[in-house]
Amino acid sequence: MNYLKLTFNKLDVNTLNDLVAHESCGAISIFVGTTRDNFHGKTVILLQYEAYEAMAVKTMNHICNEMRFRWPDIKHIGIHHRLGTVPVKEASVIIAVSSPHRKSSLDAVQFAIDELKKSVPVWKKEQYADGQGCSEWKENSECTWSKGYRENHAL
């Protein structure tokens, strides 16, 4: 089963852990991406996330399908991404994968976050401390669908 969610509510690791747990699985691997307080010498006070929600969920489903193809023993996958304001130290994304053994779930979680950063249409704006440039929209360097990527890779 896939548990996919875009939400304005605070993300909870325990909730996603409980969703992906299964009696046949001896491993649950979890990645938690949080808002850090700095970026290139600027003090970050929060992030603002926006998404093209229908396309984001569709792309997240595609990532899950690819994970299941690569690691057929995966039981459950959970990907929860926060939208709206995410203060420093709070989670912006949680990915959880259950499998009978740890290797599949660990490898799948790594794949999932890399693919999410590359392909899911979610944008973030960094809000900086006073006097440091106010705010700035950021693009993931891994992003394959943005104009910047297309220009640099001649698609």
Name residue 43's beta-bridge partners. Answer: 38
Average the pLDDT over 85-101 and give the result: 97
Q: What is the CATH number of the domain that holds 12?
A: 3.90.1170.40
Q: For residue 128, what are the domain limits?
A: 2-153
Residue type at 12 in one-letter notation: D
Reported as a pLDDT band with limits 50, 70 and 90, residue 149 is: very low
Q: What is the pLDDT at residue 41?
A: 86
Name the packing angle between helices 102-119 and 53-70 (round to 10°): 150
Chain segment 120-129, per-residue pLDDT in tens: 999 999 999 8
Report the pLDDT value the prediction gives residue 133, as an integer from 0 to 100: 60
- Number of domains, the chain: 1
> In the block, which residue shows the tokens 């093209």?
52
- Amino acid 71: pLDDT: 98
Bridge-based pairing of strands 76-82 and 2-7 is: parallel
Tell me how far the alpha carbon of residue 73 is from its chain's centroid. Answer: 22
> Which is higher by pLDDT, 43 or 147?
43
